[in-house]
Amino acid sequence: MPERVVHPPVHFTTTADGVRIAYCVHGAGPPLVFVRGWVSHLELLWEDPRFRRFIEALSRHHRVIRYDARGNGLSDREPTRVDLDALVADLEAVVQHQGARDVVLYGATFGGPIAIAFAARHPDLVSRLILDGTYAAGRHITSRARQTFITRSLRRLPDAAFLLLSHVTRPDGSGAPYDAARVRQAIDPQVAARLYAVAFATDVTDQLPGLRMPALVLHRRQSEAVPYRLGCDLAAAIPGAEFVPLAGAAHNPWEGDATAVLEAVAAFLGVSRPGPEPEETASPAALAAGPATTSLCGPYRLLGPISEGRMGVVYRAQDTRLGRTVVLKFLPEPLARDHAALERFRRESRAAAALNHPNICTVFDIGEQAGRPYIVMESLSGETLRERLAKGLVPLSQLAAWGAQIADALDAAHTVGIVHRDIKPANVFVTLRQTVKVLDFGLAKLLAPDETGLATRTTVTAPGLLVGTWGYMSPEQLQGGSVDARSDLFSLGVVLFEMATGRLPFATDPQAGLGAALGGVAAAGQAIRTDPALPAPLRPIVERTLQLDPAARYPSAALLRDDLARLCAGPHPDAVTSVS
């Protein structure tokens, strides 16, 4: 017997320009508005079991509001005005009629630019933004000739055009067979042609940098309707956006692997995933073996491990209170019982939390679970500089820009008496927007400023203790002596050299001993002056940072930053790659 479908009640509201809009509400909780934009019908879509399961999953924790935009479904079918502003007005009318605030906007396919435009105009109403299989500039979806062909076909041969579009949006043949009568129930072909023309003409690119709410961008790698690269570009242009690539070619979020979509959305919103999921607090025994992905550590749900190092085990997590993805760094179990290690970990928390800078990874919180302390940091999308260097050398202009950002971050830290002590490519993160973030102040030392204003005196670590990474440590670090801000500048000089040449400037074998390492540093100056792989404009900068005597280096990160910024702004910096 066919499943009996119970349709939800339909509500109506009117836009500012007098268009009647139909919408439905599912579930209870914080509002989530599903924005699609075209070929929508509240009742016909509800009869698709995949769509129904998708909306029901979203409504487990939210009041999901979906609507038919003008020209679609149960809304007014013959609007006189069809443009982006008019489609935003449809969304405004629904949100206002529901009295919704702190709205999660879910912009799918052609609904994405509508959601972006609304969020840019009403940032006070939008708490989070989800963009699924969408774009910022419609002209990039396909060629101009194909755009013209689609809109003309919809006007002249609509059934053939709808059939063609169904193959593009459902390349795997999923879903019910093409039915011209049902499509015409959803939208008139002439309105469809107008809406497609709007989609191709829409460009909200200039509004993306101003978005300040947390954003999640989802896109299928094999999408034929909206190319994958447009999703990547969209995520890169929104400050702090999280990007989740998905397998498959499905155009609509409820088609293809909908579970992957729902899991990504649930993680972003900080709610339980679809289907049964244990909500157990992590036990001491479980944490001893490594936190499980279903564990709760205070208000944070662990989603999976990211990495493990000698100073911490790192997990991706979800803040269940604020609905944002974060990173939790746990002190490893053996070190959790070590008083000195605990002190270094707490010092990391205090030092990093005191820093507020766009090029420093933000620390949100600290906590303890089953005797294991953890620090909560912002989640970043991109790659470490170490991962980037594995792909090849960094062009001089990009090197100078990234180097200036690292130096600016260090200047902010040094100004408040904090020395990083472990600058290396693995502790530098490059986001999708090419912004550098300095990571891991776990080895930072709180210093007391001397009478000259330059932090020089250590206060915690005993003399003679080597703290840092071999190959990047300054000579004074290698000798276990006191360090100051200039030690970080030496390490940054090593990183600059490595970005330009793909190798370190001197021997790095710890087995060779301290004398060989210091000798290598002393000999590096001459090598730098004659190394053909090092771009000539960069040579004096790197040479000054790698001086054996701290007094001969840059006296401050600010001066190094300024030199790198001038190099970046110089005439065609990438034109000069080496001088014999």
Q: Which residues are catalytic?
A: 422
Closest CA to 72 of 104, 39, 103: 39
Distance CA 436, CA 358 (A): 8
SS3 203: strand
Reported as half-sphere exposure (CB side, CA atoms, 13 A), residue 39 has a value of 20
Give the chain's end-to-end CA distance (angstroms, integer). Answer: 82
Closest CA to 423 of 353, 350, 496, 364: 496
Distance CA 534, CA 496 (A): 10
Distance CA 502, CA 520 (A): 17
AA letter at 152: R
Question: The tokens 């003309």 sit on which residue?
Answer: 152
Distance CA 1, CA 182 (A): 22
Distance CA 204, CA 207 (A): 5
- For residue 318, give the H/E element and its range: strand 312-319
Phi, psi of 481 (to 5 degrees): -90, -175
Question: In the numeric block, which tokens belong to residue 365?
Answer: 């919180």
Answer for the pair 436, 406: CB distance below 8 angstroms, yes or no: yes
Determine what percent of the chain falls in helix, strand and coil, rounding each to the nearest 5: 40, 20, 40
Handedness of CA 385, 392, 467, 457 (dihedral sign): negative
Angle (nearest 5°) at CA 90 between 152 and 187: 35
Strand-pairing partners, residue 32, are: 64, 104
Identify each DSSP E strand in 46-136 by its residue range: 63-68, 103-108, 126-132
Closest CA to 395 of 491, 501, 492: 501
Question: In the numeric block, which tokens belong to residue 52?
Answer: 């129904």
Q: What is the dihedral of CA 168, 173, 179, 180, to 10 degrees?
A: 20
Q: Which residues contact 322 (CB under 8 A, 6 or more apart)?
A: 270
Answer for the pair 554, 544: CB distance below 8 angstroms, yes or no: yes
